[in-house]
Amino acid sequence: MMASDMNNDAVGNPAEDLALIRQMMEAGRTRVAVSGVHFILWGLLLTLAFFVQYLSAYGYLPPMLVEIWAPMAAIGWLIEFFLARRSPPVSRTSNPAVVAHAASWSVVGIATLAYFAVSVITKTFDPKAITVLSTGLIGGAYWVTSTVTGVRWLKYIALGWWAVLAYATSLKVYDGEMLLVMAAASALLLTIPGFVLRRLHGSGE
């Protein structure tokens, strides 16, 4: 009898697993659509910060680095805090797909911020290194989000970030023009996907 029950469980598990995965994907897809606002937030902040640093690098503004990025990060995390506080309890879920999506983007922020802070303090900051690090992590976060939610077109956005990584890596002379490339990438590969996701969420797709 016990063996029979075990066999039934074994037969039933694939269907149950498939149903669970489908629920995870649907929940994750909904959350990603809602999280379009986070893509918009950071896309706009990064686009502005890179452009301001470009103006600073070419003498249109006084020399600045920490003065640009510290306020940008502070504003972004402060807005994220208030957005999280305003989120209804139902959206604060332990759904694995949602957790994986959120964790992958947390890694982007924490790792990039850690490199920036330590390298500035130790006077070892390397613009090319942080570009390669951040573009690789952002591309990875998009790939994870696409995989766990089934929003397949996000993988093309990941490939876009990895293309920026490849371009930055190939440069023998890494100058201020790369700041414009990063500003454009932030607008095209963060802000615009955010607006698309927001629109899909609003239409219920």
* 148 contacts: CB under 8 Å, gap ≥ 6: 24, 25, 28, 96, 97, 100, 101
What pLDDT score was predicted for residue 87?
65
What pLDDT score was predicted for residue 150?
80
What pLDDT score was predicted for residue 199?
83
* Tens-place pLDDT, residues 45-70: 999 999 999 999 999 999 999 999 99
Is residue 43 a contact partner of residue 191, using CB atoms and an 8 Å limit? yes
What pLDDT score was predicted for residue 2?
40
Under-70 pLDDT residues of the chain:
1-35, 87-95, 201-205
What pLDDT score was predicted for residue 16?
59
What pLDDT score was predicted for residue 107?
95
Q: Considering the entire predicted model, what is its pTM?
A: 0.81
Q: How far apart are CA 53 and CA 59, in angstroms?
A: 10
What pLDDT score was predicted for residue 193?
94
What pLDDT score was predicted for residue 83?
84
